[in-house]
Amino acid sequence: VPGGAGQRRPNARSHKAILEATGQLLAEVGYGAMTMEGIAARAGVGKATVYRWWSSKAALAIDVLGENPSEPADEDTGDLRGDLVRTVERVIALLTRGLEGEIIPAMSADLVRDPAMAELFRTRIARPRRSSVTAILDRATARGELPKKLDVPLMLDACVGAIFYRLVISGEPVTDEMAGDLVDLLLDGARARTPKRRTARRRPAR
Amino acid sequence: VPGGAGQRRPNARSHKAILEATGQLLAEVGYGAMTMEGIAARAGVGKATVYRWWSSKAALAIDVLGENPSEPADEDTGDLRGDLVRTVERVIALLTRGLEGEIIPAMSADLVRDPAMAELFRTRIARPRRSSVTAILDRATARGELPKKLDVPLMLDACVGAIFYRLVISGEPVTDEMAGDLVDLLLDGARARTPKRRTARRRPAR
Amino acid sequence: VPGGAGQRRPNARSHKAILEATGQLLAEVGYGAMTMEGIAARAGVGKATVYRWWSSKAALAIDVLGENPSEPADEDTGDLRGDLVRTVERVIALLTRGLEGEIIPAMSADLVRDPAMAELFRTRIARPRRSSVTAILDRATARGELPKKLDVPLMLDACVGAIFYRLVISGEPVTDEMAGDLVDLLLDGARARTPKRRTARRRPAR
Amino acid sequence: VPGGAGQRRPNARSHKAILEATGQLLAEVGYGAMTMEGIAARAGVGKATVYRWWSSKAALAIDVLGENPSEPADEDTGDLRGDLVRTVERVIALLTRGLEGEIIPAMSADLVRDPAMAELFRTRIARPRRSSVTAILDRATARGELPKKLDVPLMLDACVGAIFYRLVISGEPVTDEMAGDLVDLLLDGARARTPKRRTARRRPAR
DNA sequence: GAGTAAACGAGACGGTACGTCGAGTCTTTTC
DNA sequence: GAAAAGACTCGACGTACCGTCTCGTTTACTC
């Protein structure tokens, strides 16, 4: 258009203020009690500005969690069990003491309801964290410590799922001690898969 | 003292109507979109009557889920793996096709927020379903098929947790096929713990 | 007092407790904030018992006000103006400092809405208080101090109405001083009605 | 600072709809049975919008009454008694046949309870109507027909109070005929106060 | 530089649901 | 066989947020 002028322009200051306000409110009142109204007020911003850039408070929370990686490198020591135990302990710490533990279960209702949100959550939060564990297992497989045909996603889901399920549903205590037990259980199960004579499952027989 | 008697009378009809309305609404609109107002209206009852007997919609949903046992006998065939696979398949069916799959994730936010509600949920829903699986494993232990010192709760949490976590968080597909894999993984891990079999598999760790 | 010839048994203890509770609550929270529920609770009685004997809280309040006459004898001194001023001062005291002042305006909405209640109010409260003033004026008429054809009800309504209207509507101050002015105004108006050949009426009131 | 303006905007359409709905409901069901909920529904407006601009239904009713002046000019004919009688007849008509008669007594409970509301009522309703009568008396005073030191507010309160009290409390009939009697009574009382006329008595004439 | 339209703050809007309260009625249990 | 206790249905209360929608007011981009 020849006579046109004027363009869009997502104001950086507002953006930042909104994300900061969201982070503060998540920490202060939790995901459930956080409201879009409160975020806008805290950020000194109109509600419409919040809605213009994020479609829901789940989207906002995902953005905030995704910006704080809280996922240091996973230093590969070559000690498979040790690496895994340390990683699981970090997951436990995250879910019992970090923001994530408060927010993710509270947000799960929104994720189940809204597939697009769930996909965003997986892309920004779940998969990045998951990939570091996958790497450990892949390296072990490459070294021959674990069977090649191992179902890695299933192991991961069982591992993190056990912790998540305890926190949300079963209420069993989630302590650092469970990390070792869990890793042992799953690692032994994984190794049992090594030999080809799978029909006889009953003994490890390596 | 002049007169001096008098008693209560919790109306059975209203109770029943409320529970039925709740069940219908859970199925029709889901837990998140169900409202106390809607329940009262559907039941032909005042909101106050609902609140008199249930403190929240979570309490109501728990009562409704708890009344429908949906837990047939667990027919012990003596085939440990077969029994477990069948049980896991039933869990999968429940969570992917039954009411529970819709409701429990949606309700988890309320459970995490309200410990009393979580306890009620565990007593009425989680533990009863759990006990039938525990029984299978206990019998196997008694038969000597599994080590005596097995951490049964951890196995259960890993097992159901894997399914739950896939549904809510990781989004990996939840199919009947995964039942066998999951049982194999955990069962092999469990057997590896058998003291007599122990030769060189892993480090002391404790 | 309801109940009656020895058939049903209007439990005297409950009756008394209800009236006492009503009196206390009228004094403590006022007519508007008093509830049937509160009365029953305070009296240690079921709500149905209250409703059995009184149809509304207005009926109860009327009963309580009617039982406390708060209307001493009206000592006729023969001094018309003095008697009237003293009486008006008592009305003012009652309406500005007694229970009546709080209750009657608050109750007036119920009276206007419910003619039966209004009639009860007049019979038990208004007319008895009115009759003592009527007596003063009647005696003065008999003595020839006031014209025979005087419209006594109109005078009374103007007199008490002025006070009531100030309290409820106009907000003009209601003080003991207005008693004299009001009596003078109305008494002069009354006397003017006597003969047509009236020239001079009175001297400086003060 | 990037963005940076913003203002309020009380929607005229909603305002009008609310006031109209209030007026209709006052006429249809009366003040006591009128509810904020009903007003909002009738006006096609959210309850919050009603509460945003009016703090209570009393405030709304006052606004509605205040907008309908229902107070034509008071045509000064120079005939003091005639002007007054006509004015009193108009007051009677208003209170027995107009909206005011239904509403004001019903509202009086709220006025007594809430001084701020009472003040608003006086400013918007009572004083404007009062001033037209005051004017008549002031002109008469200026013409010398009435004594200069006349207590005009007292006369007005006695006059309107007599009518109001009859309607609400004493239940005596309120007819157009009483207008003349009331004016005569008060006017004679007022004239008696004229300094020049004073030659003799008040106090027991015998 | 000027013109223009986007994005902005503010917050009012129509709604929905909240959880509480009291009204007046009804039912059961007890004395 | 009445009275006490209290559960019942009903409906309004006043509040909180929702997500949308004007309002004027800045900018910042394009010409």
The tokens for D10 are 């009380």
Query: Does residue D1 lie within 7 Å of nucleic acid chain F, judged by its CB?
Result: yes
- C157: amino acid identity, one letter: D
- Which stretches of chain C drop beneath a pLDDT of 50? 1-8, 195-206
How far apart (Å, rounded) are the C-alpha atoms in residues C161 and D162?
Answer: 5
Choice between D2 and A155, residue whose per-residue pLDDT is larger: A155
Enumerate neighbours of D (3 or more CB pairs within 8 A): A, C
Q: Which residue has its C-alpha nearest to nucleotide E15's C1'?
A: D46
How far apart (Å, rounded) are the C-alpha atoms in residues C111 and C56?
Answer: 11
Mean pLDDT across the stretch A73-82? Answer: 80
DSSP state of B173: -
Query: Could you report the per-residue pLDDT of A90-120, keeping only the tens digit for each?
Result: 999 999 998 888 899 999 999 999 999 999 9
- Looking at residue A4, its pLDDT comes to 40
- Looking at residue C70, its pLDDT comes to 60
Q: Which helix (H) or strand (E) holds D24?
A: helix D12-33
pLDDT for residue D29 is more than 70:
yes
How far apart (Å, rounded) are the C-alpha atoms in residues D164 and C177?
Answer: 22
How far apart (Å, rounded) are the C-alpha atoms in residues D66 and D54?
Answer: 14
Mean pLDDT of all residues belonging to chain A: 86
Query: Does residue D12 lie within 7 Å of nucleic acid chain E, judged by its CB?
Result: no
Q: Which chain E positions come under 7 Å from a protein C-beta? A: 2-31
Q: Which residues of C touch B2 (CB under 8 A)?
A: 11-14
Give the residue ranges of DSSP H helices in chain A.
Answer: 12-33, 36-43, 47-53, 57-67, 80-97, 99-113, 115-121, 127-143, 152-165, 177-191
pLDDT for residue B116 is more than 60:
yes
User: For chain B, how many residues are written?
Assistant: 206
- pLDDT band, residue A51 (cuts 50/70/90): very high
How far apart (Å, rounded) are the C-alpha atoms in residues A101 and A103?
Answer: 6
Least confident of A183-187, A191-195, A200-204, B47-51: A200-204
Q: Which chain F positions come under 7 Å from a protein C-beta? A: 2-31
Q: Please judge whether C14 and B3 are an interchain contact, meaning their C-beta atoms are less than 8 angstroms apart.
A: yes
CA of B48 and C1' of E19: distance in angstroms?
A: 9
Percent of chain D whose pLDDT exceeds 70: 86
Mean pLDDT across the stretch A39-52? Answer: 95
Neighbour-count burial of C96, counting CB atoms closer than 10 A to its CB (0-12 exposed, 13-18 middle, 19+ buried): middle
CA of D46 and C1' of E19: distance in angstroms?
A: 19
Distance from CA of A49 to the nearest CA of D (A): 11
Mean pLDDT across the stretch D4-9? Answer: 54
The tokens for D108 are 């009086």
How far apart (Å, rounded) are the C-alpha atoms in residues B164 and B171?
Answer: 10
Q: Cα angle vertex C180, ends C174, C186, to 5°?
A: 100
- Looking at residue C20, its pLDDT comes to 93
B141 half-sphere exposure, CB direction, 13 A CA radius: 14
Q: Whose CA is closest to C30, among C81, C126, C104, C80? A: C104
User: For chain C, how many residues are written?
Assistant: 206
How far apart (Å, rounded) are the C-alpha atoms in residues B206 and B187?
Answer: 22
Q: Whose CA is closest to C113, among D91, D60, D109? A: D109
Least confident of A53-57, C42-46, D75-79: D75-79
- pLDDT band, residue B73 (cuts 50/70/90): low
- Looking at residue D99, its pLDDT comes to 87
Report the 10 Å Cβ neighbour count for B15. 16
Q: Cα angle vertex D81, ends D170, D85, to 5°?
A: 40
Query: Could you report the per-residue pLDDT of B3-30, keeping only the tens digit for each?
Result: 445 555 678 888 999 999 999 999 999 9
- Looking at residue B206, its pLDDT comes to 42
pLDDT for residue B197 is more than 60:
no
Q: Please judge whether A158 and B186 are an interchain contact, meaning their C-beta atoms are less than 8 angstroms apart.
A: yes
Q: Please judge whether D204 and C106 are an interchain contact, meaning their C-beta atoms are less than 8 angstroms apart.
A: no
CA of B58 and C1' of E11: distance in angstroms?
A: 34
pLDDT for residue A35 is more than 50:
yes
Mean pLDDT of all residues belonging to chain D: 87
Query: Does residue B69 lie within 7 Å of nucleic acid chain F, judged by its CB?
Result: no
- Out of C145, C188, C205, whose CB is closest to D205? C145
How far apart (Å, rounded) are the C-alpha atoms in residues C192 and C173?
Answer: 28
A156 to A32, A161, A168, D98: CA distances (angstroms): 28, 8, 18, 79
pLDDT for residue D194 is more than 70:
no
Answer whether C193's CB lies under 8 Å from D198's CB.
no
- B199: amino acid identity, one letter: T
How far apart (Å, rounded) are the C-alpha atoms in residues A12 and A20?
Answer: 12
- D95: amino acid identity, one letter: L
Q: Whose CA is closest to B124, among B144, B97, B104? A: B104
Q: Which residues of A touch B153 (CB under 8 A)?
A: 170, 172
Q: Please judge whether D169 and C199 are an interchain contact, meaning their C-beta atoms are less than 8 angstroms apart.
A: no
Select the residue from A88, A121, A170, A181 to test the B interface by mutation, using most B Cβ atoms within 10 A: A170
pLDDT for residue A43 is more than 80:
yes
D 115-154, residues with C-beta < 7 Å of strand E: none
- Out of D157, D186, D188, whose CB is closest to C170? D157
D40: nearest nucleotide, CA–C1' criterion: E14
How far apart (Å, rounded) are the C-alpha atoms in residues A164 and A187?
Answer: 19
Residue A115 neighbours by CB under 8 Å, 6+ apart: none
Report the 10 Å Cβ neighbour count for B148. 10
Percent of chain A whose pLDDT exceeds 70: 86
- Looking at residue B71, its pLDDT comes to 61
CA of D48 and C1' of E14: distance in angstroms?
A: 9
Query: Could you report the per-residue pLDDT of B143-180, keeping only the tens digit for each?
Result: 989 998 899 999 999 999 999 999 999 999 999 999 99
Query: Does residue A35 lie within 7 Å of nucleic acid chain E, judged by its CB?
Result: no
C 26-45, residues with C-beta < 7 Å of strand E: 35-38
Query: Does residue A48 lie within 7 Å of nucleic acid chain F, judged by its CB?
Result: yes
Q: Whose CA is closest to D24, among D54, D68, D55? A: D68
Q: Which residue has its C-alpha nearest to nucleotide E21's C1'?
A: B48
Q: Please judge whether A14 and D2 are an interchain contact, meaning their C-beta atoms are less than 8 angstroms apart.
A: yes
- Looking at residue D188, its pLDDT comes to 92
DSSP state of D33: H
Answer whether D35's CB lies under 8 Å from D57's CB.
yes
* b (16+ CB within 10 A) / e for A112-142: bbbeebbebbbeebbeebbebbeebbeebbe
- Looking at residue B196, its pLDDT comes to 42
pLDDT for residue D3 is more than 70:
no
- Looking at residue D35, its pLDDT comes to 97
Answer whether B132's CB lies under 8 Å from B87's CB.
yes
The tokens for A192 are 């049992």
Neighbour-count burial of C59, counting CB atoms closer than 10 A to its CB (0-12 exposed, 13-18 middle, 19+ buried): buried
Query: Could you report the per-residue pLDDT of D92-149, keeping only the tens digit for each?
Result: 999 999 888 889 999 999 998 899 999 999 999 999 889 888 988 999 999 989 998 8
Percent of chain B whose pLDDT exceeds 70: 86
Distance from CA of C68 to the nearest CA of D (A): 19
Query: Does residue B10 lie within 7 Å of nucleic acid chain F, judged by its CB?
Result: yes
Q: Which residues of D touch A13 (CB under 8 A)?
A: 1-2
Report the 10 Å Cβ neighbour count for A200. 8
Least confident of A49-53, A61-65, C183-187, D6-10: D6-10
Interchain touch C–A (≥3 Cβ pairs closer than 8 Å): no
Q: Which residues of C touch D178 (CB under 8 A)?
A: 154
Least confident of C25-29, C197-201, D71-75, D177-181: C197-201
pLDDT for residue D204 is more than 70:
no
Q: Which residues of D touch C94 (CB under 8 A)?
A: none
pLDDT for residue B98 is more than 90:
no
How far apart (Å, rounded) are the C-alpha atoms in residues D180 and D79?
Answer: 14
Enumerate neighbours of B (3 or more CB pairs within 8 A): A, C
- pLDDT band, residue D8 (cuts 50/70/90): low
